[in-house]
A = this chain, B = another copy of it.
């Protein structure tokens, strides 16, 4: 599997994203990572392996504790990939803006019409 696909696959799970969120605040032991999620140890290992395969986390060198830490490079690649589509969602907002301001103009126009009638 290509690197970007591996990254997206690893991110396609709320628990793995929660582990990343935890590691974004600093490195943590496996125990410290798994505790808050009420997972079985095999499930936890599988999640950590998925994140590691994608290069999203790495292990410290300390023999005993081996804390996991976030590696941001694949996330930067995701940001770059998705960034190429930015004009599409910005365009949508521009269309929405235009729609809303047309709507507002319409209402003001209608209000003007009502005022005219009030003067009759």
A86 located at the interface, meaning its Cβ lies under 8 Å from any Cβ of chain B in the complex: yes
A1-37 residues with Cβ-Cβ distance < 8 A to B are 1-2, 4-6, 8-9, 11-14, 17, 20, 24
A73 touches B92 (CB 8 A): yes
A15 — nearest CB in chain B belongs to which residue? B5
Contact present for B24 and A85 (CB under 8 Å): yes
Question: How many copies, total?
Answer: 2
**What are the interface flags for A65-88 relative to B under an 8 Å C-beta threshold, 1 for contact and 0 otherwise?**
000001011011011011111101
Closest chain-B Cβ to A81's Cβ sits at a distance in Å of: 8
Q: Given A75-B85, A88-B70, A4 and B17 touching (CB < 8 A)? A: yes
Given A5-B14, A75-B85, 9 additional A-B pairs, CB 8 A: A9-B9, A17-B81, A70-B88, A72-B85, A72-B91, A73-B92, A78-B82, A79-B79, A79-B89
